[in-house]
Structure 1
Amino acid sequence: MIDTRLTGKVALITGANHGIGAATAIALAAEGVSVFLTYKRLPPLNDPAYPETYDCNRAGDADDVVGRIRETGGRAEAVEADLADPETPKALFDQAEKAFGPVEILVNNASGWLSDTFAPSEHDSFGRPLRPVDAETHDRQFAVDVRAPALLIAEFARRHVERGATWGRIIGLTSEGPHGFPSEVSYGAAKSAQESYTMSAAHELGPYGITANMVHPPITDTGWINEEVEKLAATYGPLRSVGRPEDVAEVITFLASHQGRRVTAQVIKMY
């Protein structure tokens, strides 16, 4: 049995009411981590290109996740928060510290995802609606996927250094950003920027005992997978299958663990 040496640690996980965030909260709690979850309920997309499950997942709170963790003896709290508000990061750390003590693991999972494009197209190859890139799509995407992670990392680092801590983990979620992301161009650009912030954190905060990495999940079933996406997954990558949120949560848990102590400044690509 591997001892991850995570018992007693405290994690702040964004976007944790469903999908990878929820699976990560459950996985870390199973290792003895006290988890503070954030989420934001989103309105339904009401589009036939998305399974109904996805709308339900996006619209829900985190009560079920917290309940599952507590039922097995874990410690969890959740709060609804708008990461697009620049005052939110500080408030989240204050609330997490009040609940469990100083945050030692930061998981930047939340996304303000939307589909936008430079092309004169109304739908992508999966039949999902597209909108042109404009100030609104840019600002919405970058507020949640770039500014919020940057401010969360900054707040994490400031508190870590002030209390003289020597152990910390920063883990973000990314995608195909640096190589361009057709039909999701603002999302791809935002993820590229988040990668840069996280790699900078790895180099600047390493002397303070903090590792910082990004995880690039496979095509993962968080409720949004339709038949066309499933067909793509069957032909894409060496494993040719759709991943589960739990698969990604295991990699995040490894990066947070003692076993991952020498892994930093990396983008871990999963298939």
Structure 2
Amino acid sequence: MPHTRTSGHVAVVTGANHGIGAATAGALAARGVAVLCTYLRVEDPVDPGTPEAYRRHRAASGERVAEEIRAAGGRAEALEADLSDPAAPAELFDVAEQKLGPVDILINNATGWVQDSFAPRPTDRLGRSQNPVTAEAWNRQFAVDAMAPALLISELARRSRDRGARWGRIVGLTSGGDLGFPEEVSYGAAKAAQTNYTMSAALELADLGITANMVYPPVTDTGWVTDAVREAVASSGTHFHIADPAEVAETIAFLVSDAAALVTGNVITLR
């Protein structure tokens, strides 16, 4: 996909220290967008079904991503923030406005991913450890994947309206489906809530020129893909590819461009 310029805009990208978030920050910066790379370093427990590289990626700093963008001539800042804190969304927008300018692009990519199930076995079908649904894990999952996106969308809407803006973009990342997300039940449920918030935003914020869409990526190799995952994709009747984060980022970059002004209120499934 050729680059579609989106110069002069400012984006907040959550979960931007690795994977799709980092790739999206880079793709937007390459198109002239100033980017606040937000992230939270997470120390996941050792899991025989999860590659060590993925654990390192999750524990990485987002400053590296911002430095790479600046080295390439772009504008970027990095800020570590825990999105389970209700005060975090306003803080992110304050920092972005102070250092980069008014925010008009929001990429809700961060996840409080929990591997849980109603009937947990020692490992799931891919060899990853499973846990039962608990109040603690549920609270963390929904705080990051449902509450934080809702508050971030609300912050973007309020500030856009206050300054009389007439352009904006919201893109969220989702997973799961109509039958939920077996073996990752709280993750799937929280993403469903985020999808609902985003679809409502598409309708309620249309008068501000703000579009809102969700992207459902294919299996994306952010470091967690193992041979077992590759075999599962190859034998699946619904999965077509294992994507690179940069491929997903290209779709997100298109959705925030002027060329996608009529694309709103959609869950866009990539295969």
Measured against the shorter chain, the TM-score band is over 0.9
Q: What does residue 221 of structure 1 align with?
A: 221
Q: What does residue 242 of structure 2 align with?
A: 242
Q: What is the rounded CA distance, in whole Å, between the counterparts of 2:82 and 2:240 in structure 1?
A: 36
**Residue identity in the other structure for 1:216:** Y
Deviation string for 1:47-94 (max 9, x for gaps)?
121111101101110122112111110001001000000000001000
After TM superposition, give the deviation of residue 236 of structure 1 in Å.
3.1
Q: What is the rounded CA distance, in whole Å, between the counterparts of 2:152 and 2:127 in structure 1?
A: 35
Tell me, yes or no, if the aligned pair for 1:177 and 1:191 is still in contact at 8 Å.
Answer: no
Matches within 5 A, 1:149-160: 149-160=149-160
Runs (5+) with no aligned partner, structure 1: none
Residue 120 to residue 235, structure 1, CA distance change in 2 (3 Å): closer
Residue 120 to residue 83, structure 1, CA distance change in 2 (3 Å): closer
Q: What does residue 166 of structure 1 align with?
A: 166
Tell me, yes or no, if the aligned pair for 2:120 and 2:183 is still in contact at 8 Å.
Answer: no
**Residue identity in the other structure for 2:106:** L
Q: What is the rounded CA distance, in whole Å, between the counterparts of 1:90 and 1:60 in structure 2?
A: 24
Tell me, yes or no, if the aligned pair for 1:174 and 1:195 is still in contact at 8 Å.
Answer: yes
1:47 aligns with 2:47: yes
SS at match of 1:248: helix
Q: What does residue 9 of structure 1 align with?
A: 9
Matches within 5 A, 1:253-268: 253-268=253-268
Q: How many residues get paired?
A: 271
After TM superposition, the structure 1 stretch with the greater mean CA deviation from structure 2, 123-132 or 245-254, is 123-132
SS at match of 1:86: coil
Tell me, yes or no, if the aligned pair for 2:117 and 2:132 is still in contact at 8 Å.
Answer: yes
SS at match of 1:79: strand
Matches within 5 A, 1:85-124: 85-124=85-124
Q: TM-score under structure 2 normalisation?
A: 0.97
Matches within 5 A, 1:61-80: 61-80=61-80
Q: What is the rounded CA distance, in whole Å, between the counterparts of 2:239 and 2:173 in structure 1?
A: 20
Q: TM-score under structure 1 normalisation?
A: 0.97
After TM superposition, give the deviation of residue 24 of structure 1 in Å.
0.1
Runs (5+) with no aligned partner, structure 2: none
SS at match of 1:224: coil
Deviation string for 1:28-49 (max 9, x for gaps)?
0000000001000011321121
Displaced runs of 4+ in structure 1, greater than 4 A?
Answer: none
Tell me, yes or no, if the aligned pair for 1:116 and 1:133 is still in contact at 8 Å.
Answer: yes
SS at match of 1:164: coil
